[in-house]
A = this chain, B = another copy of it.
Amino acid sequence: MKAYVYVTLKKTVLDAQGKTVTQALRGMGHTAIADVRQGKYFELTLAEGSDSEAVRQEIEQIAAEVLANPVIEDYRIEFGS
């Protein structure tokens, strides 16, 4: 089983990296792009037989405490195969 964690800066936090990408794309003539925000993406492969509610809570804890900084970042978790 796999868990996918997406971490993005909160909407209220200035995303300097995203702004730079936006400016670069517009400078290249891609005027259809209004805004870009950049984030991080983690693909966690779980050990065999770990598809339990306890493991889901563990992933939730890992995302909140290790992968994201909840002061400035939001995160979203998806589980898949």
Q: Which residues of A contact B (CB under 8 A)?
A: 6-8, 18, 21, 24-25, 28, 30-47, 50, 55, 58, 62, 66-67
Contact = CB atoms under 8 A, between A and B. Distances in A.
A30 to B, nearest CB: 6
B42 A34 contact: no
Contacts of A50: 32
Number of copies: 2
Contact of A33 (B21, B30, B46): B46
A33 B47 CA distance: 6
Given A55-B32, A58-B30, A6 B46 contact: no
A36 B42 contact: yes
A21 B28 CA distance: 35
